[in-house]
Structure 1
Amino acid sequence: MQLTDSHCHLDFPQFEGEIDALISRASDAGVHRMVTICTKLRQAPQVRALADAHAPVFWAAGTHPMSVADEPMATVEALEALAAHPKMVAIGETGLDYHYTEDSKAQQQESLRIHIEAARRTALPLVIHARDADADMARILAEEHRAGPYSCVMHCFSSSRALAEAALDLGFYLSMSGIAAFPRSADLRAIFADAPLDRIVVETDSPYLAPPPHRGRRNEPAFVAHTAAVGAEVFGLAPDAFAEATERNVERLFPKLVA
């Protein structure tokens, strides 16, 4: 059984000095690939270097919505230039987060549309972060899709059923994180259960959101296996069948993983 951690943050300080050991533990758990996400474009060289140095590591780059107010506004051209790297597989993460940073929502929306245009031009998928902004998120994704199609994954999906349905209607993917494995996440698991299996990928968002039995600890790519075990239960599948399905999905979502 093999799995891909479709979203982690290996450049974060929680992993400093541990990358080789972390990749080894992931391999032991059946996690043979991981996509590390750059959340501030000025950090792209460090994130790219991780992918260059480690065969199982791929990367994506964008400006996280919570950082938009404090970082230079991304440009389509800058994102296109980064996307030329052979192991850069996606644009983002980008999106909207009104939980703590609603005061920058106009800037967040501008940044989101810039990232969407970069995804169109590069034919790379978009990685979306959405929190407490469901209505604006659904509206912008739909408006932009009508203006020109693009592919997308709703990373660490934990929003409403309405946003899940809106994303799925556009042909997008939902990513299952450790949140879906939390005991109190029955409603979220029900949303996933009603989604098409061929639109599901798995992730850790490490170092955050460790699934049981590691909840409360630092998360890492190896732990995506625990989330995948819960995903198998949600879809009524054997673990290896669910893993095979998510592997097909992640390769369809991120074609450069197998380019």
Structure 2
Amino acid sequence: MTAQTPDTLPEIVDSHCHLDFPDFQDELPDVIARAKAAGVRRMVTICTRIVNEPKVRAIAETYPEVFYAAGIHPLNVTEQPLVSVADLVALAQHPRLVGIGETGLDYHYTPETKVLQQDSLRIHIQAAQETGLPLIIHARDADDDMAAILTEGYRDRPYSCVMHCFSSGAGLAKAALDLGFYLSMSGIAAFPKSQDLRDIFAAAPVDRILLETDSPYLAPPPHRGRRNEPAYTAFTAKVGAQVFGLSEAAFAAQTTANFDRLFRRAARRAKAA
């Protein structure tokens, strides 16, 4: 049997990671090299504070395998004035910026900021509508409000969206899928006690599934409890293949095609390279 090399492995995309976090300081070349060796040949690094956008952008400008997105994480909405739609649209002119966010609602830790979180989410939705770039959503303990606001915005003007690191309930999954949105599978889906979540994914159309690490968080087995990194997307892909009854190569190809359909700017840049 011929051994697989990075060039012969099926391409996997890590659609959501945080390469600007201190966990990767001074190690980025090695992290990206390990990702490529595992078949993860494209990554989207996510800005969670607009003040950090220049640093995140610089990573995408330095490494051709890396694209980026920019927004304000719901847990960060009180740290500075909310970004404006115009500011996000201006940032979106950069050719390596491929998504708006992450944004969303998180009532688990900061329910007292829920109104401000909702205001921020609506701003990001409008920016996604204006730019045509996909919205990247974080949702935790806010399923009903999330479904309502996403649906309200879509009815006003359609937009595309991914529910990143999806670990919410079946109701929010259905609401998102009914709007044509995507669900992203992280290492949580590979945890032994996540069967209910795997069942939600299994009920979804496979052409609406993405892969991600959310690194440095949520490392899948066999690395659970340690720092996550883009290379480990391959372990979640193995589990995803089992969930959908596909070969690993077929699942990798499907999720990569899904990524290209949603993140069209990244797909065009990759094709042109």
Q: TM-score range by the shorter chain?
A: over 0.9
Q: Distance in 2 between the 1:208 and 1:258 partners?
A: 26
Shift of 1:217: 0.3
Identity level (%): 64
Q: Deviations over 1:34-89 (max 9, x none)?
A: 00000000100000000000000000000000000122201001100110000100
Identify the residue that residue 250 of structure 2 maps to in structure 1. Answer: 241
Q: Partner residue of 1:200?
A: 209
Distance 1:115 1:2 in 2: 30
Of 166, 188, 191, the match for 1:179: 188
Residue 158 of structure 1, aligned match among 149, 160, 167: 167
Deviation at 1:258, TM superposition (A): 2.0
User: Are 1:23 and 2:13 an aligned pair?
Assistant: no
Structure 1 counterpart of 2:90, from 81, 86, 92: 81
**Any stretches of 5+ residues in structure 1 without a counterpart?**
none
Runs of 5+ in structure 2 lacking a partner? 1-9, 269-273
What is the CA–CA distance in structure 2 between the aligned matches of 1:257 and 1:46, rounded to whole Å? 19
Distance (whole Å) between structure 2 residues aligned to residue 138 and residue 38 of structure 1: 23
Question: Does residue 199 of structure 2 align to residue 190 of structure 1?
Answer: yes
1:125 aligns with 2:137: no
- Structure 2 matches for 1:24-43, cutoff 5 A? 24-43=33-52
Q: TM-score, normalised by structure 1?
A: 1.00
The answer to whether 1:109 aligns with 2:136 is no
Q: Deviations over 1:71-116 (max 9, x none)?
A: 2201001100110000100000000000001100000000000000
Of 49, 61, 75, the residue aligned with 1:52 is 61
Q: Partners of 1:226 and 1:218 in 2: how far apart?
A: 14
Give the Cα separation in 2 of the matches to 1:180 and 1:258: 26
The Cα offsets for residues 181-218 of structure 1, whole Å up to 9 and x where unpaired, read as 00000000000000000000000000000000000000
After the TM superposition, which segments of 4 or more aligned residues of structure 1 sit over 6 Å from their partners? none
Aligned to 2:263: 254
Q: Does 1:135 align with 2:162?
A: no
Verify: 1:147 aligned to 2:156, yes or no.
Answer: yes
Counterparts of 1:129 and 1:216, CA distance in 2: 21
Q: In structure 2, what is the Cα distance between the partners aligned to 1:230 and 1:71? A: 39
Distance of 1:74 and 1:180 partners within structure 2 = 32
- Secondary structure in 2 aligned to 1:94? strand
Counterpart of 1:61 in structure 2 is 70
Q: RMSD of the TM alignment (CA)?
A: 0.4
Cα distance in 1 for partners of 2:153, 2:63 equals 35
Give the TM-score taking structure 2 as reference length: 0.94
Per-residue CA distance 1:118-177 (angstroms, 9 max, x = gap): 000000000000000000000000111100000000000000000000000000000000
